[in-house]
């Protein structure tokens, strides 16, 4: 993965990696570079630890948005034995930014849903950069109801900068589509596991984000507004996004501490894109384990627990003020 | 000395027209002069251009609920600062300023029960002057408790929204209020109880993307801004001017997201008429069964 699409803070590491690779290819010739490679390697290890062990909230946001970060379909290929994509909201269109269908996980039937971003400009136009329209949320609901009908558990994968803010989206009821999903997901009589794999952008994330378990990848973020949007409104300056990212407490550690997510799946040093297979394997194990626990619960208990989980979220004071 | 004489006359003429402060105001919509009395009599609607000014939660309840029947719930809930949120000002400072601006409210909502033309209802009114009517944990909790009590007492539910959406200073905790309130409404919907959502200017963001859009019947005041994203964000994203009337009540009605647009003076009567049709199941289910048995 040593190409030049790295983030600013990744660059010294990528440069060292490139140098080592060059020396390795030269080593095939008559000169021996083993000693140089060894010293560079230890330099690299130090640099990696220094940069990646103390990532700021804003750097984590950048990793969550990394152009090489594994997207939903990458995990689908690595985690599930089969995926049959189903299309359309039966109302207006098929949204390629929010996809779903039947899949097989370790021999079991599941319904999977998630935001999908594009790798290049052409694909991003089709995927709308992972920003879904109302038809995406309505397709998601259609597929969730289909899963409920056949008692199939639902796994959602959240990775969106936010639901799309455009004219068509408003005309077709973006807010209504999300609101209905929130109401209906709370009542689905089948287990739902949500995984935030990259960007957890506000209502667009929550629109497929209500479940019995919420898992978050280590460098994913979850926020009520993008750091840039928050900075523009509260600081009146988009350039303060790094400050907003800190204030918004949007990292996986913060979410776990606030009780808003149940568990974190660790990522390799530097982010999921440095070893997608390892992250997928770890996530797969967590999905299987959680699903086994959830399928044991009778639907009534499942629904009561899901309601209680979200019912108690939020911190406020009550009584006589100090 | 002719110039002086002229000046004196002019001054006198102006003095005659002078009116005590605060009696007149210029309509911010059409620019016409309206007296404060006229504005109050028309429920804060401009008599010249029909612009519906934002109403405080208190005044909204006053014009909606029969006199002397309102009983407030959870008046002792107030916001915390769990994230220690600081932007250009710390969150507690913003709370204090909002409290002053909203004339003493502890957060952006009042909830309770009362009678609407004699019909018992559970009602919430949001308060725009408190941090833009934004939904944090207090607003989410008070709405959820109201819904739960309405289920217990088998009351119709009315929520009047005037809100910019989720409150940034509570980040994901405020986002989860969308889930919490919508979840409570999912239970409410299965109880055979009616929910009327009223959207006033403005109703946007997380408020529209949760309880405000989930009414059995959704009414809006004329000309209210209603949407998911704010017009500024949309304009920035698509880099185009927005069409005339975009995201106003009339636009939403045309696109099928509202049942009716109702003038403020007619709202109470319209709700009462609607509840006549939708209040049939508000009596406990067991009592209804008993009646049927008796007849058999």
Closest chain A CA to residue B233: A165
The answer to whether residue A88 sits within a structural domain is yes
Which pLDDT score, from 0 to 100, does residue B188 have?
A: 97
A275 and A182 inside one domain: yes
The answer to whether residue A318 sits within a structural domain is no
Question: Is the pLDDT reported for residue A120 higher than 80?
Answer: yes
The answer to whether residue A320 sits within a structural domain is no
pLDDT confidence of A100, banded at 50, 70, 90? very high
Percent of chain A surpassing pLDDT 70: 98
Ramachandran bin of B245, using left for φ above 0, alpha for ψ from -120 to 50, beta for the remaining angles: left
Which pLDDT score, from 0 to 100, does residue B294 have?
A: 52
Q: Which of A142, A156, A143, A152 is nearest to A101 (CA)?
A: A143
A175 and A271 inside one domain: yes
Within 8 A by CB and 6+ apart from A300, the residues are none
The answer to whether residue A121 sits within a structural domain is yes
- Report the range of poorest mean pLDDT among A112-116, A135-139, B6-10, B248-252: B6-10
Interface list for B 238-277 with A (CB within 8 A):
238, 242-243, 246-247, 255-257
The answer to whether residue A49 sits within a structural domain is yes
Which residues of chain A are within 8 Å of residue B257 when distances are taken between CB atoms? 173, 176
**B151 touches A at CB < 8 Å:** no
pLDDT confidence of B15, banded at 50, 70, 90? very low
Which pLDDT score, from 0 to 100, does residue B286 have?
A: 52
Which pLDDT score, from 0 to 100, does residue B138 have?
A: 98
- Report the range of poorest mean pLDDT among A196-205, B237-246, B264-273: B237-246
What is the three-class DSSP state of A114?
A: strand
The answer to whether residue A50 sits within a structural domain is yes
Residue A201, judged by CB atoms within 10 A of its CB (0-12, 13-18, 19+), counts as buried
Question: Is the pLDDT reported for residue B19 higher than 70?
Answer: no
User: How many separate domains does chain A show?
Assistant: 2
Question: Is the pLDDT reported for residue A136 higher than 50?
Answer: yes
Which pLDDT score, from 0 to 100, does residue B61 have?
A: 98
With CB atoms and an 8 Å threshold, state whether A179 touches B177: no
A50 and A115 inside one domain: no
Which pLDDT score, from 0 to 100, does residue B293 have?
A: 52
Residues A256-266 pLDDT 10s: 999 999 999 99
pLDDT confidence of B127, banded at 50, 70, 90? very high
Which pLDDT score, from 0 to 100, does residue B29 have?
A: 87
A128 and A263 inside one domain: yes
Which pLDDT score, from 0 to 100, does residue A1 have?
A: 41
Q: Average pLDDT, stretch A158-183?
A: 97
Question: Is the pLDDT reported for residue B281 higher than 60?
Answer: no
A31 and A123 inside one domain: no
The answer to whether residue A297 sits within a structural domain is yes
Q: Average pLDDT, stretch B186-194?
A: 95
Give the Cα separation of B283 and B156 in Å (integer): 10
Which residues of chain A are within 8 Å of residue B144 when distances are taken between CB atoms? 311
Q: Average pLDDT, stretch B158-170?
A: 97
Closest chain B CA to residue A221: B172
**B127 touches A at CB < 8 Å:** no
A30 and A108 inside one domain: no
Neighbouring CB atoms inside 10 A of B30's CB total 12
A116 and A204 inside one domain: yes
Retrieve residue B192's tokens. 């055979």
Q: Average pLDDT, stretch B87-99?
A: 96
The answer to whether residue A322 sits within a structural domain is no
Q: Average pLDDT, stretch A188-209?
A: 98
Which residues of chain A are within 8 Å of residue B213 when distances are taken between CB atoms? 173, 175-176, 179-180
Which residues of chain A are within 8 Å of residue B167 when distances are taken between CB atoms? 224
What is the three-class DSSP state of A154?
A: strand
- The average confidence (pLDDT) of chain B is 90
- Report the range of poorest mean pLDDT among A47-56, B148-157, B269-278: A47-56
Q: How many residues does chain B have?
A: 296
Which pLDDT score, from 0 to 100, does residue A23 have?
A: 87
Which pLDDT score, from 0 to 100, does residue B5 have?
A: 54
Question: Is the pLDDT reported for residue B54 higher than 60?
Answer: yes
Q: Average pLDDT, stretch A79-99?
A: 97
Neighbouring CB atoms inside 10 A of B72's CB total 12
Which pLDDT score, from 0 to 100, does residue B9 have?
A: 53
Question: Is the pLDDT reported for residue A87 higher than 80?
Answer: yes
A165 and A116 inside one domain: yes
pLDDT confidence of B6, banded at 50, 70, 90? low
A18 and A139 inside one domain: no
Give the Cα separation of A299 and A318 in Å (integer): 33
Given a contact cutoff of 8 angstroms between Cβ atoms, the answer to whether B234 and A171 are in contact is no
Question: Is the pLDDT reported for residue B111 higher than 50?
Answer: yes
User: Which domain, by its residues, includes A297?
Assistant: 61-311
pLDDT confidence of B283, banded at 50, 70, 90? low
Strand-pairing partners, residue A221, are: A199, A251
Which residues of chain A are within 8 Å of residue B174 when distances are taken between CB atoms? 224, 314
Ramachandran bin of B22, using left for φ above 0, alpha for ψ from -120 to 50, beta for the remaining angles: left
CATH number of the structural domain spanning residue A113:
3.90.226.10
Closest chain A CA to residue B257: A173
Which pLDDT score, from 0 to 100, does residue A138 have?
A: 98
With CB atoms and an 8 Å threshold, state whether A176 touches B213: yes
Given a contact cutoff of 8 angstroms between Cβ atoms, the answer to whether B210 and A176 are in contact is no
Question: Is the pLDDT reported for residue A67 higher than 90?
Answer: yes
Interface list for B 209-228 with A (CB within 8 A):
209-214, 227-228
A37 and A125 inside one domain: no
Of A207, A209, A314, the CB nearest to B177: A314
Which pLDDT score, from 0 to 100, does residue B20 have?
A: 58
Which pLDDT score, from 0 to 100, does residue A3 have?
A: 47
Which pLDDT score, from 0 to 100, does residue B16 have?
A: 45
Residue found under tokens 């952006």: B108
Contacts by A79-86, CB closer than 8 A, 24 or more apart: A79/A105, A79/A280, A79/A283, A79/A284, A79/A287, A80/A104, A80/A105, A80/A110, A80/A112, A81/A105, A81/A106, A81/A107, A83/A112, A86/A143, A86/A146
Q: Which of B190, B88, B223, B210 is nearest to B143 (CA)?
A: B210
With CB atoms and an 8 Å threshold, state whether A174 touches B228: yes
A32 and A85 inside one domain: no
Which pLDDT score, from 0 to 100, does residue B79 have?
A: 97
A21 and A105 inside one domain: no
Query: Going from the N-terminus, what domains does chain B have, and what CATH number goes with each?
Result: 1-51 (no CATH), 54-284 (3.90.226.10)
Which pLDDT score, from 0 to 100, does residue B3 have?
A: 58
């Amino acid at each position: 993965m040593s190409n030049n699409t790295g983030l600013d803070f990744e660059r010294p590491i990528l440069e060292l990696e490139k140098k080592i690779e060059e020396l390795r290819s030269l080593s095939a010739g008559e000169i021996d570079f083993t000693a140089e490679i060894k010293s560079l390697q230890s330099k690299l290890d130090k640099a990696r630890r220094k940069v990646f062990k103390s990532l700021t909230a804003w750097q984590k946001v950048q990793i969550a948005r990394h152009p090489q970060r594994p997207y939903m379909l990458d995990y689908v290929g690595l985690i599930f034995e089969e995926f049959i994509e189903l299309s359309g909201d039966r109302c207006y269109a098929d949204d390629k930014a929010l996809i779903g269908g039947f899949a097989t996980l370790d021999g079991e039937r599941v319904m999977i849903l998630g935001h999908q971003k594009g790798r290049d400009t052409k694909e991003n136009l089709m995927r709308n950069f992972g920003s879904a329209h109302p038809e995406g949320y309505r397709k998601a609901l259609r597929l969730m109801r289909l899963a409920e009908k056949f008692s199939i558990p639902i796994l959602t994968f959240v990775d969106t900068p936010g639901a799309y803010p455009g004219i068509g989206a408003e005309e077709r009821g973006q807010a209504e589509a999300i609101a209905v999903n929130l109401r209906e997901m709370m009542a689905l009589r089948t287990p739902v596991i949500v995984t935030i794999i990259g960007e957890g952008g506000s209502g667009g994330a929550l629109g497929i984000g209500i479940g019995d378990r919420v898992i978050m990848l280590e460098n994913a973020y979850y926020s009520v507004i993008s750091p840039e949007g928050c900075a523009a409104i509260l600081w009146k300056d988009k350039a303060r996004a790094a400050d907003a990212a800190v204030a918004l407490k949007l990292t996986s550690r913060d979410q776990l501490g606030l009780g808003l997510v149940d568990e974190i799946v660790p990522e390799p040093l530097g982010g999921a894109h440095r070893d997608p297979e390892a992250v997928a394997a770890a996530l797969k194990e967590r999905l299987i384990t959680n699903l086994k626990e959830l399928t044991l619960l009778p639907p009534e208990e499942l629904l009561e627990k899901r309601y209680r989980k979200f019912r108690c979220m939020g911190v406020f004071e009550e009584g006589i003020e100090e | 000395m002719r110039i002086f004489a002229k000046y004196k006359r002019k001054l006198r003429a102006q003095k005659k027209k002078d009116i005590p402060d605060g009696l007149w105001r210029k309509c911010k919509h059409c620019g016409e002069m309206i007296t404060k009395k006229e504005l109050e009599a028309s429920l804060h609607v401009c008599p010249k251009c029909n612009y519906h000014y934002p109403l405080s939660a208190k005044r909204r309840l006053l014009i909606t609920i029969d006199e002397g029947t309102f009983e407030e719930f959870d008046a002792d809930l107030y916001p915390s600062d769990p994230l220690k949120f600081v932007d250009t000002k710390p969150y507690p400072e913003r709370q204090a300023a909002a409290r002053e601006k909203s004339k003493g409210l502890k957060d952006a909502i009042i909830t309770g029960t009362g009678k609407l033309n004699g019909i018992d209802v559970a009602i919430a009114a949001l308060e725009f002057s408190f941090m833009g009517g934004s939904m944090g944990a207090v607003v989410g909790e008070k709405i959820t408790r109201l819904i739960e009590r309405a289920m217990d007492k088998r009351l119709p539910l009315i929520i009047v929204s005037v809100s910019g959406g989720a409150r940034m200073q509570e980040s994901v905790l405020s986002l989860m209020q969308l889930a919490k309130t919508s979840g409570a409404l999912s239970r409410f919907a299965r109880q055979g109880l009616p929910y009327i959502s009223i959207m006033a200017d403005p109703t946007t963001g997380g408020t529209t993307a949760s309880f405000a859009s989930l009414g059995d019947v959704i009414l809006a005041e004329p000309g209210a801004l209603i949407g998911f994203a704010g017009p500024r964000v949309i304009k920035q994203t698509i880099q185009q001017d927005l069409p005339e009337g975009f995201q106003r009540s009339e636009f939403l009605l045309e696109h099928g997201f509202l049942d009716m647009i109702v003038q403020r003076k007619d709202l109470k009567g319209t709700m009462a008429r609607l509840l006549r049709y939708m209040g049939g199941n508000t009596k406990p289910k067991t009592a209804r069964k008993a009646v049927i048995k008796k007849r058999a």
